[in-house]
Amino acid sequence: MKKYWRRFKNSFFWFSFRRDPVAIASFSILVILAILSFSAPWIAPHDVYESSSIDIMNSELPPAWMEEGSSDYMLGTDIQGRDMLSAMLYGMRLSILIGLGAVCLQAVLGVLIGLIAGYVGGKVDSFLMRVADVQLSFSTLMVAIIISAIFQLAFGLAKYEDLAVPLLIVIIGLAEWPQYGRTVRASVLGEKKKEYVEAARVIGLPRWWIMFRHILPNTLSPVLVISTVQVANAIMSEAALSFLGLGMPVTKPSLGSLINSGFEYIFSGSWWITLFPGVLLVTLVVVINLLGDWVRDVLNPKLYKR
Amino acid sequence: MFAFVIRRIIQSLFVILVIGFIGFAIKHQIGDPVRDLVGISVSKAERDALREELGLNDPFMSQYVRFMKNAVRGDLGMSFFYKKPTLKVIVKKAPATLELVFVSSLIIIFLSIPAGVYAAIRPRSWLTRFIMGASIVGVSIPVFLTAILLIYVFSVELGWLPSYGRGATVSLWGWETGLLTIDGWKHLILPSIALSSIMLPLFIRLIRSEMMEVLQSEYVKYAWAKGLAPRRVYFVHAFKNTLLPVITVGGVQLGILIAYTILTETVFQWQGMGFMFLEAVERSDTTLLVAYMMVVGVVFVAVNTMVDIIYGLVNPTVRIAGRK
C-alpha cells in the first residue's frame, strides 16, 4: 500500500495536478459537492421525501435574506413548500448517481463493442461502426429523448416515474455508448498490430484472453480521458430529460426537474426556484468539464486537438 | 466519384429502412390504430371487425412492408389528437422550427467566425482568454437554463421582449413566416439566442483549433516570408483553408440543432415540431410520435449524406479511403 502511495506521489499525474490551480480548485469543489450531496439525508435541514414535513402554507417563500423570507428556509421554498436547499441536495445526489450509473453502463457497452469491432474487424466492424455513426449523427440528446418518450408510452406514466432512476441510466447509457465504442476501437486498431499481441497469438492464447487481458489494459487511458467529460454530458442529458418531463418526477426531483417546476413560477417573480438549482447544476458541470480538460492534457496530449 | 455517391445513397436508404422498421415496431407494440380511429366507446365485436379490415392481424413483416409503402407515398397515418394526416400536421409546424434554426445558425456563423479567428491569431491576449473561458462555461450551461434566464431578464424584469409564441405571422405561399413582421422578429430574438448558445462555444473552439493548425503550416510561413500584408495572410491564405473542416463538421452540428429545438420550443412555447413532439408524448399520440421520428430521421440522413458527398467532392482522399 505504502509503495503504491509513493509511486503515486512521484508520478507525473500528481506533479501536474499540484501545479495546476484550476485543477485543484475544480477537484476540491467537486469533492465538496459530492460529499454534500451524498450526506443529504443527514445534513439537509428538511426531509423532502417525507410528505408530512411539507406544509403548503410555506410555499414560494423567498430566500432568508429577503423580506418575507424565513430563517428556517435558507434558500426559500418551492411551490409545494419544500425547502429549496434540501431539495437541491437530494436532487444533486440523484443527478450525480444517474450520471455515474449512465457512464458505467455506456463504458461497459462501448468498451465491449469497441473491442469486438476493433479486434474481429471485417463485416462485424463495419456494421457496428455504421450503427455508431448513425447514432452519433442523430445526436445523443435526440436519441435519448426518443428512447425515453417510447419508454414512457410503453410503461405508462406511473410506472415510468417509479422506475425513473434505472430507466434514465439505461436511456442515457444506450444513447451515448458510441463515444466509447469509437475511441476504444481506434486504440484497439493501433494495439492490434503490435508485437506483444502477435506473441500472445503465437503461443496460442485464446482470442478473448488476448482481447481482455492484453489489449484492453492498453486502451484504458483514452477511456479514462473521455469518462470525465461523459459524466458531465450524462448529467446534462438527465437534466434535459427531466426538464422535458421525461425524467425524474416532481415528487423525487433531480436538479433538472427542480428547474422545470420552478420555470412556471418565474413569471410571478419566484426566481429562486429556478436559479439556485440552475447555478448548482452549472457549477457541477463546469467543474467536471474543467477537470476533464486537465485529465485530457495530462494523460493524452495527442488527443488534444479533436 | 460516381460510385462513391451511389454507395452513400444506398447506405442512407438502408438507414431510412431501419428507422422505418424501428418506427413501425414502436407503433405495432404501443400504438392502437383502432382507438385512434373510433375512440374507446365502441363495442369489442366491432373493434375486432375493424381490426381484421385494417389488416392488423396480418403477419408482422407484411404489415411492415405496407407501412413502408405508405410512408414512401407520404402517408404516415392519422394523428389521434389532430384527426388529420400526421404528415400534414408536421408540415404545418415545420416552418416555425426551420426559421428558428435558420436565424440561430446565422447568429452562430456571424459570431463564431470573428471570435474563433481572433482567438487563433492572438492566442495570448486577454480577450482570447476571456472567449475561451466563456466558451467552457457556455458549453456547461444547459440550453433550457439559458432560455429561462433570458426570459426572466428580458421579459419579466425588463419587459422588452415577449416570452412565448411566434407573434404575428404572414402567409407566404402557404409558408407561415414570422420573418416579415416586426412582431415576429421580436418573438424570434430570445429563442434564437438561446438555441445558438449551445453551439456557439463548439464552433468558436473548432474554428480556433483549425485556424491555429493552418497558421503553423509551411505555406503560411512562406506567405509571411514573401512579406504579404497580415490581412491577406490571415484571410486569403489561412482562413480559406480552415473552412473545409468547419463546413463539414458544421453541417452535421446544424442538423443536431434540431434536437435542441425540442428544449427551446418547450420553454418559449414556440409552435414548432419539437413542441408538437412533446405534446404528442403527453397525449400518447403514438402515430404522430413515430411520424416525427421518421421525418427527423430522414432530415438527419439527408443532411449527413449531403455533407459526406460535399466532403468527398472537395477532398478526394475520403473517397479512396472509403473504398478499401
Report the pLDDT averaged over residues A2-12: 78
Residues from chain B contacting residue A285 (CB–CB below 8 Å): 140
Whole-model pTM: value is 0.84
Min Cα separation A29/chain B (Å): 15
Q: Could you tell me the CA-to-CA distances from B175 to B91, B98, B169, B172 in Å, in that order?
A: 9, 11, 9, 5
- What pLDDT sits at residue A52? 64
Residues from chain A contacting residue B289 (CB–CB below 8 Å): 149-150, 153
Number of Cβ pairs < 8 A linking chain A and chain B: 99
- What pLDDT sits at residue B63? 78
Report the pLDDT averaged over residues B20-28: 82
> A301 vs A92, which has greater pLDDT?
A92
- What pLDDT sits at residue A306? 37
Among the partner residues B30, B145, B213, nearest to A259 by beta-carbon distance = B145
Interface with A, mutate which of B148, B295, B301 (most A CBs under 10 A): B148
pLDDT in tens, B34-53: 666 666 666 777 777 777 76
Query: In terms of C-beta density within 10 A (0-12 exposed, 13-18 middle, 19 or more buried), how is residue B79 classed?
Result: buried
**Number of domains making up chain B:** 1
Among the partner residues B140, B156, B293, nearest to A285 by beta-carbon distance = B140
CB contact under 8 A, B29 and A142: no
Q: What is the DSSP string of B224-293?
A: HHTT--HHHIIIIIIIHHHHHHHHHHHHHHHHHHHHHHHHHHHHHT--SHHHHHHHHHHTT-HHHHHHHH
- What pLDDT sits at residue B35? 66
**Number of domains making up chain A:** 1
Residue A243 pLDDT more than 80? Answer: yes
- What pLDDT sits at residue B323? 43
- Residue B109, Cβ neighbours under 10 Å: how many? 14
Min Cα separation B10/chain A (Å): 13
- What pLDDT sits at residue B18? 85
The CATH number for A189's domain is 1.10.3720.10
Min Cα separation A149/chain B (Å): 6
- What pLDDT sits at residue B251? 75
- What pLDDT sits at residue A304? 39
Residue B290 pLDDT more than 60? Answer: yes
Confidence grade of residue A105 (pLDDT, cut at 50, 70, 90): very high
pLDDT in tens, A50-88: 666 666 666 666 776 666 666 666 677 777 777 778 888
Q: Considering the domain boundaries, does residue A105 fall inside one?
A: yes
CB contact under 8 A, A149 and B277: yes
Residue A165 pLDDT more than 80? Answer: yes
Min Cα separation B140/chain A (Å): 5
Among the partner residues A145, A263, A305, nearest to B148 by beta-carbon distance = A263
* % pLDDT > 70, chain B: 88
Q: Considering the domain boundaries, does residue A151 fall inside one?
A: yes
Question: B203 is in which domain, residue-wise?
Answer: 86-323
Interface with B, mutate which of A237, A243, A305 (most B CBs under 10 A): A243
- Of B271, B268, B270, B274, nearest to B299 by C-alpha is B274
Confidence grade of residue A101 (pLDDT, cut at 50, 70, 90): very high
Rounded to an integer, what distance in angstroms lies between the CA atom of residue B73 and that of residue B67? 10
Angle in degrees, 0-180, between the axes of helices A220-243 and A140-155, rounded to the nearest 10? 50
Among the partner residues B263, B281, B301, nearest to A240 by beta-carbon distance = B263
Report the pLDDT averaged over residues A241-248: 84
Min Cα separation B256/chain A (Å): 6
Residues from chain A contacting residue B266 (CB–CB below 8 Å): 243-244
- What pLDDT sits at residue B324? 36
Residues from chain B contacting residue A281 (CB–CB below 8 Å): 142, 145
B 155-194 → A contacts, CB under 8 A: 156, 163
Q: Considering the domain boundaries, does residue B69 fall inside one?
A: no
* % pLDDT > 90, chain B: 0
Among the partner residues B15, B143, B267, nearest to A134 by beta-carbon distance = B15
CB contact under 8 A, B137 and A149: no
Q: How far apart are the first and last CA of chain B?
A: 14
Confidence grade of residue B319 (pLDDT, cut at 50, 70, 90): low
- What pLDDT sits at residue B138? 84
Residue with cell 459530492: A34
What is the residue-averaged pLDDT of chain B? 80
- What pLDDT sits at residue A305? 40
Rounded to an integer, what distance in angstroms lies between the CA atom of residue A100 and that of residue A191? 28
CB contact under 8 A, A305 and B282: no
Nearest CA in chain A to B261: A142
Please state the ipTM of this predicted complex. 0.79
Q: Considering the domain boundaries, does residue A13 fall inside one?
A: no
pLDDT in tens, B203-225: 888 888 888 888 888 888 888 88
- Residue B43, Cβ neighbours under 10 Å: how many? 8
Residues of A contacting chain B (CB within 8 angstroms): 130, 134, 137-139, 141-142, 145-146, 149-150, 152-154, 232, 236, 239-240, 243-246, 256, 259, 263, 266-267, 269, 271, 274-275, 278, 281-282, 285-286, 289-290, 293, 305
- Highest mean pLDDT pick, A153-157, B132-136, B170-174, B250-254: B132-136
The CATH number for B291's domain is 1.10.3720.10
CB contact under 8 A, A263 and B259: no
Among the partner residues B140, B145, B286, nearest to A153 by beta-carbon distance = B286
Rounded to an integer, what distance in angstroms lies between the CA atom of residue B199 and that of residue B252? 11
CB contact under 8 A, B266 and A244: yes
Question: A130 is in which domain, residue-wise?
Answer: 23-30+83-299
Residues from chain B contacting residue A127 (CB–CB below 8 Å): none
Residues from chain A contacting residue B301 (CB–CB below 8 Å): 137
Q: Considering the domain boundaries, does residue A245 fall inside one?
A: yes
- The SS3 assignment for B295 reads helix
Min Cα separation B45/chain A (Å): 25
Report the pLDDT averaged over residues B228-233: 83
CB contact under 8 A, B29 and A154: yes
Answer left, alpha or beta for residue B64, where phi above 0 means left and psi between -120 and 50 means alpha.
alpha
CB contact under 8 A, A246 and B267: no
CB contact under 8 A, A153 and B284: yes
B170-172 and B175-177 beta bridge pairing: antiparallel
CB contact under 8 A, A149 and B281: yes
Report the pLDDT averaged over residues B234-239: 81
- What pLDDT sits at residue A69? 64
pLDDT in tens, B107-144: 988 888 888 888 888 888 888 888 888 888 888 888 88
Q: Could you tell me the CA-to-CA distances from B191 to A129, A135, B91 in Å, in that order?
A: 35, 27, 21
CB contact under 8 A, A281 and B149: no
Min Cα separation A219/chain B (Å): 24
Among the partner residues A146, A278, A281, nearest to B293 by beta-carbon distance = A146
Q: Give yes or no for B276 touching A (CB within 8 A).
A: no
Q: Considering the domain boundaries, does residue B53 fall inside one?
A: no
- Which of A125-129, A268-272, B203-207, B301-305 shows the lowest per-residue confidence on average (mean pLDDT)? A268-272
Residue B134 C-alpha cell reads as 466563456
CB contact under 8 A, B144 and A274: no
